[in-house]
Amino acid sequence: MAETRRDSLIDAAAQLLDRGGPAAVTLREVGRAVGVSHNAPYKHFADKDDLLAAIASRELRRQAAPRPTTTGDDLSQPTARALMIGYVRWAMRHPERFKLTFGRWTRENAELAEAADSSRSRLVAAVMTAQAAGDLPAGDPERVTALLLALAHGAADLALSGHLAADGKGHVDPEDLVADLFGYLKTASR
Amino acid sequence: MAETRRDSLIDAAAQLLDRGGPAAVTLREVGRAVGVSHNAPYKHFADKDDLLAAIASRELRRQAAPRPTTTGDDLSQPTARALMIGYVRWAMRHPERFKLTFGRWTRENAELAEAADSSRSRLVAAVMTAQAAGDLPAGDPERVTALLLALAHGAADLALSGHLAADGKGHVDPEDLVADLFGYLKTASR
DNA sequence: ACCTGAACACCGTTCAAGT
DNA sequence: ACCTGAACACCGTTCAAGT
């Protein structure tokens, strides 16, 4: 469990990110939290953006990692629906990490791109299982996956920026929209 | 058509935003483009964030404005589907304005909140029309609207950040996802 | 009412220098 | 291989002063 200096820097940066967003992640503050000078990060990351990318890829890898179940070992894979609900909950719980992770790059940073692809592959597999069970409509699994991902992502993003519901009345929860979509898709797949 | 100093500042800021994002919008550069000092904007906007909010609300108002039709006067209202396609196209055409407009605030800035509400009201009305025609499933119009908005928003945002499709192969277009959703919803509404 | 110039605190990045 | 301190260019914001 030895934590490297690099990991400590990412930890500190993520903490600053959570409150205050990317602007609050200053190399001086990161260095101060770890106990090094504000130039030390340059020995571990190319620049500030590279440090932010490291947070994003770590977040992506954690999300892809199997969560420990409280009811002992569970060998069954999570359903597409469970994955999407998990995605939305993670976004609402860690807004800044969510925005950062899906904010830019991915195609620029190799590590980030790989993490994103592996995360999606997992979802595609779950979609195919659901299709076979008749819970999701047939058709290109990649495209159905994109549909699910787009809805969950948009619901979370709009909810975070306050654009989802109207003036207070009729508050719409992003999880409700995920449930609605799965309901419609099940009806459409018969 | 007299353009006020305030409008000129918004124009210049929007142009800087389009290339380079919010970080490229510096008060010094804005002032230079208009021909004033870098402090002049403070007489028209509280701070930089207020200037960015002005760009967002102008964009929101423009999107809500009826587009001139090339085939003369058309008194019919745009369909929900047309509105969503228009939304996605606008996002793909002006990524930075899209990200800025739906990035934060809205509930903080009164002008922005009003523009957003009026924009959504228009979409809710179109949704109700489609529901009556049997093209969209029955149920709370606000909630169905949120579903459409979430998908269009998520599809555009993921496409812009490169998270929509896998490694080049099987490129998924955000407009395709909007079309897919309307297809599924029509099937589910019968 | 609107604008200017100087100044302040802060930031990312570079670089010479240390171990 | 990793770190430090000084320095540079740049930025948002404030303020006294002008018209």
Rounded CA separation B36/A133 (Å): 66
What residues of chain A lie within 8 A of the CB of B138, using their CB?
Answer: none
Asked whether the beta carbons of A115 and A61 are under 8 A apart, the reply is yes
Q: Is nucleic acid strand D under 7 Å from B27's C-beta?
A: yes
Query: According to the model, what pLDDT value does residue B174 have?
Result: 97
What residues of chain B lie within 8 A of the CB of A170, using their CB?
Answer: 140, 142-143
Q: What percent of chain A has pLDDT over 90?
A: 72
CB neighbours of A168 closer than 8 A, spacing ≥ 6?
Answer: none
What residues of chain B lie within 8 A of the CB of A102, using their CB?
Answer: 157-158, 161, 163
Return the residue of A nearest to B177 by Cα: A147
Q: Which nucleotide is nearest to B51 (CA to C1')?
A: D12
Of residues A64 and B181, more confidence is placed in: B181
Q: pLDDT-derived band of residue A63, with 50, 70 and 90 as boundaries?
A: confident
Cα dihedral B189, B151, B174, B106 sign: positive
pLDDT digit string (tens) for A36-48? 999 999 999 999 9
Asked whether the beta carbons of A158 and B101 are under 8 A apart, the reply is no
Q: Is nucleic acid strand C under 7 Å from B118's C-beta?
A: no
Assess B105–A contact: CB distance below 8 Å, yes or no.
yes
Query: According to the model, what pLDDT value does residue B77 have?
Result: 84
| DSSP per residue, B83-114 | HHHHHHHHHHH-HHHHHHHTTS-SSS-HHHHH
pLDDT at A69 over 70: no
Q: Is nucleic acid strand C under 7 Å from A38's C-beta?
A: yes
- The residue whose CA lies nearest the C1' of nucleotide D11 is B26
Q: Cβ of A163 and B116 within 8 Å?
A: yes
**pTM for this model (two decimals):** 0.91
Query: According to the model, what pLDDT value does residue B72 have?
Result: 55
Q: Which nucleotide is nearest to B5 (CA to C1')?
A: C2
Quote the mean pLDDT of chain A.
89
Rg of chain A over all Cα atoms, to the nearest angstrom: 19
Asked whether the beta carbons of B148 and B137 are under 8 A apart, the reply is no
Question: In the numeric block, which tokens belong to residue B165?
Answer: 């499709």
Three-state SS string across chain A, please? CCCCHHHHHHHHHHHHHHCCCHHHCCHHHHHHHHCCCCCHHHHCCCCHHHHHHHHHHHHHHHHHCCCCCCCCCCCCCCCHHHHHHHHHHHHHHCHHHHHHHCCCCCCCCHHHHHHHHHHHHHHHHHHHHHHHCCCCCCCCHHHHHHHHHHHHHHHHHHHHHCCCCCCCCCCCCHHHHHHHHHHHHHHHCC
Q: Please tell me which of A36-45, A51-60, A68-77 the model is most confident about, judged by mean pLDDT.
A: A36-45
Mutate one of B48, B161, B173 to test the A interface: name it (highest A CB count within 10 A).
B161
Query: According to the model, what pLDDT value does residue B25 have?
Result: 97
> What does each of the 190 residues of chain B score in pLDDT, given as a tens digit?
468 999 999 999 999 999 999 999 999 999 999 999 999 999 999 999 999 999 998 998 887 766 555 555 566 789 999 999 999 999 999 999 999 998 876 566 777 788 888 888 999 999 999 999 999 999 999 999 999 999 999 999 999 988 887 655 567 899 999 999 999 999 999 8
- The residue whose CA lies nearest the C1' of nucleotide D13 is B47
User: How many contacts (CB atoms, under 8 Å) link A and B?
Assistant: 130
Question: In the numeric block, which tokens belong to residue B98?
Answer: 């899209």
Q: Is nucleic acid strand C under 7 Å from A49's C-beta?
A: yes
pLDDT digit string (tens) for A5-25? 999 999 999 999 999 999 999
For residue B168, what are the CA distances in angstroms to A171, B53, B126? Answer: 38, 35, 35
pLDDT digit string (tens) for A73-118? 566 789 999 999 999 999 999 999 999 998 876 566 777 788 888 8
Question: In the numeric block, which tokens belong to residue A113?
Answer: 């791109």
